[in-house]
Structure 1
Amino acid sequence: MYNDSKHGFDAAQTRYEAFMLEPHEWVPNSRKLPVIIYRGALASDSGDLAAAFEILFEGNAWPPQWRDGIFDYHHFHATAHEVLGVTDGSAEVIVGGPGGRVVNLSAGDALLLPAGTGHCLQSFARHFQVVAGYPAGQQWDIRREALTPNEQAAMEALPFPAMDPVDGKRGPLIDHWLHVA
């Protein structure tokens, strides 16, 4: 498990929430895997949160691929699971597609989205920014319409990551995702 107090990560201090989402209109969500929110994955006052999340995700085999905000339109990724580490500001994000669940995120939090999970920025404060990581070997796409049956089957067959992006070999991904593999 990655445990680096220099960058503000302390597994004992991280709390998480996990919840399931049903398919909704054109958004498939995941029938097997919960969304996971890590509260305080990194201490909000631990310096350069973007660099710290990049080190954390890289160390847990979820290589970071970009830094930016979250799109303000509903979309999902069918070809990769995604973890978003909040590096600045706070936001309300809709997960699950139009009419979905609104979650509040703040600097230091991380949001783990199984492939197919709809998400959309609803509102934000300050300069809201995230770092995005994806399991090694998975490349993200952007989808805004229903999947074909073959695309749905390919999404559901995506390999499970070997490690939790925040807690490494332990943590909620291991507890909630790998038991369904």
Structure 2
Amino acid sequence: MEAQVRSFFLNDTGDIPNNPDLPVIVYQGVFENTVNIEAQFVQHNWTGTWTGDIYEYHHYHTNTHEVLGVKSGKATVLLGGDGGERLNLTAGDAVVLPAGTGHRKMESTEDFAVVGAYPNGSTPNLNQKDPGVRAQAISQIKNVPVPETDPVYGENGPLLEKWAK
């Protein structure tokens, strides 16, 4: 099955910075066998993996990018803040969130689970909607390096094209 890959930018909402330079990348149907998600991320040096759910409140990370691979079930996730983009994710999909991208789960099936990982095993910080930390958040986001590999495809993936600076 050929994965559909799309990308889009999200605007700064005033309380969630999103990322002004790097787009969100969505890989629809990229994993035929969801058992392999974690191993594929680790193989491409996206480590610090975890399996679980997505918080039901807006949050973002200013110190690292994040990949989420859907291991089971379905969910609607809101990216970018209240007026952002709704994504319907299903088992086998993956989404790369550049540093600063707000995300929250809106609804899901009971069996919904994702595998999360970070480039070079970064440990994410956790930020919530707060206009008071915006300037500091934007400064931190701009200092997060572009990863050397795509979490799904390694050295030849769409992330390297779409995130070229």
User: Structure 2 length as normaliser, TM-score?
Assistant: 0.93
For 1:176, which of 158, 162, 165 is the aligned residue? 162
CA RMSD after TM alignment: 1.4
Identity in percent:
37
- 1:85-124 mapped onto 2 (5 Å cutoff): 85-124=69-108
Give the structure with the higher percent strand. 2
- 1:77-156 mapped onto 2 (5 Å cutoff): 77-144=61-128, 145-146=130-131, 147-156=133-142
CA deviations 1:34-72 (Å, max 9, x no partner) are: 0011011101xx3xx2x4111000011101421101001
Say whether 1:158 aligns with 2:144.
yes
Distance in 1, matches of 2:121 and 2:42, equals: 13
Aligned partner letter, 1:77: H
Partner of 1:73: 57
Partner of 1:25: 14
Distance in 1, matches of 2:71 and 2:121, equals: 24
Instruction: Report how many residues are paired.
Output: 163
Partner of 1:41: 30
How far has the Cα of 1:150 moved from its partner? 3.5
Partner of 1:4: none
Unmatched runs of 5 consecutive residues or more in structure 1? 1-9
Which range moves more in the overlay, 144-153 or 66-75? 144-153
Distance in 2, matches of 1:87 and 1:148, equals: 33
How far has the Cα of 1:170 moved from its partner? 1.2
Partner of 1:56: 40
Unmatched runs of 5 consecutive residues or more in structure 2? none
